[in-house]
Amino acid sequence: MNYKKEEIKKALTLHQIYTENYKTNLYAVFLATPLKRENVTLDALLTAVLRRGTKNLPTQEQISQKLEMMYGASFDCGVEKTGDNHVMKFYLETLNEEFLPKPEKLLEESLKILLDIVLNPYIENNCFKPEYVEGEKKNLKQIIEAKIDNKNKYAYDRCIEEMFKNKPYGLYKYGYIEDLEKITPEDLYKYYKELIETCKIDLFCSGKINNNIKQIVEQNENIQKLNERTPNYVINNETTEAKEVENTKTVEDSMQVTQGKLVLGLDINDLEENSRFVASVYNAILGGGANSKLFQNVREKQSLAYTANSGYVRTKNVIFIRCGIEIANYQKALDTIKEQLEEMKNGNFTNEEIKNSKELILSSIEGITEEQDTEITYYYGQELADRFINIEEYKNKIKEVSKEQIVNLAKTISINTIYFLKD
Amino acid sequence: MKVIESLKIKEKAYVEVLENGLTVIIIPKKNTKKKYIIWGTHFGSIDNRFIMPKTGEEVFIPDGVAHFLEHKMFEQPNGTNSLDTLMALGIDANAYTTNDHTAYLFECTNHFEEGLNELMDYVQHPYFTDENVEKEKGIIGQEINMYDDDPSWKLYINALDCMYKENPIKLDIAGTIESISKITPDVLYKCYNTFYHPSNMTMVVCGDFVPENLLQEIKKRLVNKENQGEIKRIYPPKEEKINKPFASAQMEVSTPIFMIGYKDIENKKEQRVKKHIAIEILLNMIIGKSSSLYAKLYKEGLLLSEPSLDYEFSDEYAHVLISGTSKEPKKIEEGILNAINEMKQNGLNEEHFERIRRKVYGDYAIEYNNVGDIARMFLADSMKSVQSFDYIEQFETVTKEYAEEVLKDIFKEENEVLSIIEPNKN
């Protein structure tokens, strides 16, 4: 097993993934906190402000220069929704020392910089530097406004928003302009201090890493200063809760587009213990690839769409169908999609289709260990679900899924929201 | 097989040119589960006029044929589609067309042999009929519409239009609805027979393989083809100047996007890799993350994130591209022009140069993390007669003095253009 996790302090966990497949080491810090309307904007802004400077490297320019000297180490950060948690993610990637043109020590330095960015920010007069906060507010405002630029993504986000109206998952991960405008540097710093004392913290190290990482982390000053805590976050419960079945909502928006974007949000109401695995297979048959029902019927047979696929969001147990269609073909495309859902309910799919879909999922599971950030995300997902399944078990669960289970699951599926972006 | 090696990043490539002219490059990667194969032909959207080696006939083809051909290669006489066949095996298959090449690829963890069977079968057996060509026009028409909605594509095409008058690089890769309406099976077969000859193709494989064994597997699956002479491609003459310095359009974007181009008019073929490395270092020094220009523009709220920096080249074109999002693109342009002038006058700062040199080395080394990146890089480079390891191996030869020469050669004010997409005014 190349993965191990150890608790450094209560709610502060170190995860190590040993692998020789890369030229790089990847380090990540994740802060998890419940998704709430009053916090999403603060979280997004905070993540951006933290990268502006640390106590030791007070400007972004200094951070960048330091990283460049380390053979172009790269830092990245962002916010993601994972189930009903909002996760602030901070990554640092460096070359593994073995592949440098000249020998140099990079590992300890890397961890120090990353932990400094998250835990030891640049503070002036007991507050974040107002210039950084104001600058990042402007930037975040542009990011929120840019929601409309990518029409595929916009239509998808809008469908999620409508489907989870007034629920945490319906929130936009970057927050809201009306909330943003009110945030002062004082508010943000106060929020930061609370967050850092209460959130769940996970530190990941992946690569050809040595044995003393735990020691390095434990001796890090920032880590030593952290308090023990009972973390405030939402466990992504993998045993499904029943959902209220509502009537299908239809929502349309108009924008300057030549191609219409159709997105359907589907609820799954299957309470069986392994239904998440069944849902993966169901989704792959419905819209997982070039052999799927959607691709074959909406795109290939009827030339109604250039893209037609579906994706399963495991943490919320929902499926989204996404198509790019000619606007005039809306009704025809929607009817064709509904027919495919009926086909699934009636068990009109072959063993061949099941086998192909499982192959598709299995190969993506095998791909998990082939990318450093994917592997980290996989283990972090389990950490938040508080349920550990190793990659072999995961593959077996997929292999065990039967046609009967798929049909039973199909019968519980209902269309929650139909969203259409047109001209 | 010939072995080339990079000691710095500890990788080897095995290269063989077969009797029929096909170049095979195998890069073994121990312990990885993923395998990646890509088979490319030196035929892209710019190759729209050529002489067929066998008949001597000169052919003009409608815009978008290379891309159309790519779409149609998957279709089989028995009604199946090779993309589906590969996907059914859990293999992630795809294809793409660029300015200068078309490539067919797949990535898998299992069933590599079956995948190889299918790939080598469909690429060597075209099947075009009036009916299946007509049907494809609908699908590609949708794809063209999708490009039309994409502001960053429009931005790029407009920047090219500024730099080139006649050069086919500025054509849409997929063509237009009008141009593809003229495509017939006959056109497709002519292009196929000319450009899909092994001597015009390169295959790159990366994964946990024994190179000699894999080469035998590939040879077994090759269809015999008569040798063919060189394909004469006809391009418009080289243009000594840019076409126009500025272009702007309005589309649905929230903030303007910009692309600044420097046309590399001379486009010297010697020392291409070395020049490319120098340009990447220079671009990072001018407006990379740690540059004082970027810090200034970021502080003023004119740049939100680092611009993308690129150098695109082939025998027929070469240009530098700097693109990003900004409320005031003209101020970005002004900043860049000033920064370049200052660097030309005062020379490059030693410490800054060393720092960026290290960063660029890191960028190249990271390319070797992923079998797909490695294979695509070797293929794209080989289409330009470049050997990928050279970026790592020639690194040390790029000195500050050399970079200063390149700065003067390429970043000339008279060769600079600006393309902007602004939000709709209403």
Domain ranges, ordered by start, for chain A: 3-225, 249-422
Handedness of CA A335, A341, A347, A353 (dihedral sign): positive
Task: Answer whether B341 touches A (CB < 8 Å).
Answer: no
Please give the pLDDT value at position A14.
97
Q: Which two tokens stand for residue A350?
A: 């072959």
User: Rounded to an integer, what distance in angstroms lies between the CA atom of residue B391 and that of residue B403?
Assistant: 15
Kindly give, in sequence order, each residue whose CB lies less than 8 Å from that of residue A184, ignoring residues fewer than 6 positions away: A133
Give Cα separations from B389 to A82, A102, B181, B273, B362 (angstroms).
40, 18, 42, 10, 14
End-to-end CA separation in angstroms for chain B: 63
Please give the pLDDT value at position A239.
52
B229-282 per-position pLDDT tens digit = 899 999 999 999 999 999 999 998 989 999 999 999 988 888 899 999 999 999
Please give the pLDDT value at position B197.
97
Q: Return residues 189-248 of A near B (CB < 8 Å).
A: none
Binary contact (A65, B81; C-beta < 8 A): no
> Which CATH code for domain A249-422?
3.30.830.10
Task: Say if residue B88's pLDDT is above 90.
Answer: no
With tokens 């900043």, the residue in question is B335
In the chain, the amino acid numbered B102 is T
Report which secondary-structure segment, H or E, holds A412.
none
Helix, coil or strand: residue B104: strand
Please give the pLDDT value at position B426.
64
Give the CB-side neighbour count of residue B121, counting CA atoms within 13 A.
15
Task: Answer whether B109 touches A (CB < 8 Å).
Answer: yes
Q: How far is A106 from chain B (nearest CA, A)?
A: 13
Give Cα separations from A23 to B10, B76, B88, B262, B374 (angstroms).
10, 41, 32, 33, 12
Among the listed residues A375, A383, A314, A316, the one whose alpha carbon sits nearest the alpha carbon of residue A31: A383
**pLDDT band at A418; cut points 50, 70, 90:** very high
Task: Say if residue A8's pLDDT is above 90.
Answer: yes
Average pLDDT (A141-162) is: 93
On whether the CB atoms of residues A32 and A86 are closer than 8 A, the answer is yes
Task: Answer whether A291 touches B (CB < 8 Å).
Answer: yes
User: Rounded to an integer, what distance in angstroms lies between the CA atom of residue B426 and that of residue B424?
Assistant: 6
User: Rounded to an integer, what distance in angstroms lies between the CA atom of residue B100 and that of residue B42?
Assistant: 6
Q: Return residues 142-171 of B near A (CB < 8 Å).
A: 142-143, 145-146, 148-149, 151
* Percent of chain B whose predicted confidence (pLDDT) is above 70: 100
Task: Answer whether B138 touches A (CB < 8 Å).
Answer: yes
Q: What is the ipTM of this complex?
A: 0.78
* Average pLDDT across chain B, whole number: 94
Q: Which two tokens stand for residue A150?
A: 């990518």
Closest in B9, B298, B424 to A256, CB measured: B424
Q: Which residue has the higher pLDDT, A291 or B199?
A: B199
In the chain, the amino acid numbered A9 is K
Helix, coil or strand: residue A257: coil
Task: Answer whether B236 touches A (CB < 8 Å).
Answer: no
Among the listed residues B34, B39, B3, the one whose alpha carbon sits nearest the alpha carbon of residue B378: B39
**pLDDT band at A258; cut points 50, 70, 90:** confident
Q: Is A350 exposed, middle or buried (0-12, 13-18, 19+ CB in 10 A)?
A: exposed
Task: Say if residue B388's pLDDT is above 60.
Answer: yes
Beta-carbon neighbour count of residue A153 at 10 Å? Answer: 14
Q: Which two tokens stand for residue B419?
A: 């393309």
Chain A hits for B423, CB-CB cut-off 8 Å, are: none
Binary contact (A258, B298; C-beta < 8 A): no
On whether the CB atoms of residues A337 and B68 are closer than 8 A, the answer is no
Average pLDDT (A165-187) is: 96
End-to-end CA separation in angstroms for chain A: 53
Kindly give, in sequence order, each residue whose CB lies less than 8 Å from that of residue A271, ignoring residues fewer than 6 positions away: A239, A240, A242
B165-191 per-position pLDDT tens digit = 999 999 999 999 999 999 999 999 999
Please give the pLDDT value at position A1.
67
User: Rounded to an integer, what distance in angstroms lies between the CA atom of residue B38 and that of residue B103?
Assistant: 6
Among the listed residues B38, B2, B12, B1, the one whose alpha carbon sits nearest the alpha carbon of residue B393: B12
Positions of B annotated as catalytic residues are 70
Task: Say if residue A311's pLDDT is above 90.
Answer: yes
Among the listed residues A238, A268, A233, A214, the one whose alpha carbon sits nearest the alpha carbon of residue A413: A268
Task: Say if residue A46's pLDDT is above 60.
Answer: yes
Q: Which two tokens stand for residue A199?
A: 């959130």
Closest in B254, B290, B365 to A23, CB measured: B365
CATH of A3-225, one of 3.30.830.10, 3.40.50.10420, 3.30.559.10, 3.30.565.10: 3.30.830.10
A64-82 per-position pLDDT tens digit = 999 999 999 999 999 999 9
Residue A26: phi and psi, rounded to 5, are -120, 130
B305-343 per-position pLDDT tens digit = 899 999 999 989 999 999 999 999 999 999 999 999 999
Task: Say if residue B302's pLDDT is above 60.
Answer: yes
Average pLDDT (B401-407) is: 97
Task: Answer whether B83 touches A (CB < 8 Å).
Answer: yes
Helix, coil or strand: residue B22: coil
Closest in A148, A296, A366 to B252, CB measured: A148
Q: Which two tokens stand for residue B423?
A: 């939000």
Give the number of residues written for chain B. Answer: 426
Q: A91 pairs with which residues across the strands? A: A28, A76
Alpha helices in A305-349 (DSSP H): 330-345
User: Rounded to an integer, what distance in angstroms lies between the CA atom of residue B287 and that of residue B278?
Assistant: 14
Q: Which residue has the higher pLDDT, B46 or A271?
A: B46
Task: Answer whether B395 touches A (CB < 8 Å).
Answer: yes
A216-252 per-position pLDDT tens digit = 999 999 999 999 999 989 988 755 556 676 789 999 9
Chain A hits for B91, CB-CB cut-off 8 Å, are: 363
Are both A3-225 and A249-422 of the same fold?
A: yes
Q: Which two tokens stand for residue A88?
A: 């602030």
User: Rounded to an integer, what distance in angstroms lies between the CA atom of residue A16 and that of residue B251?
Assistant: 47
Domains of chain B: 2-233 (3.30.830.10), 246-423 (3.30.830.10)
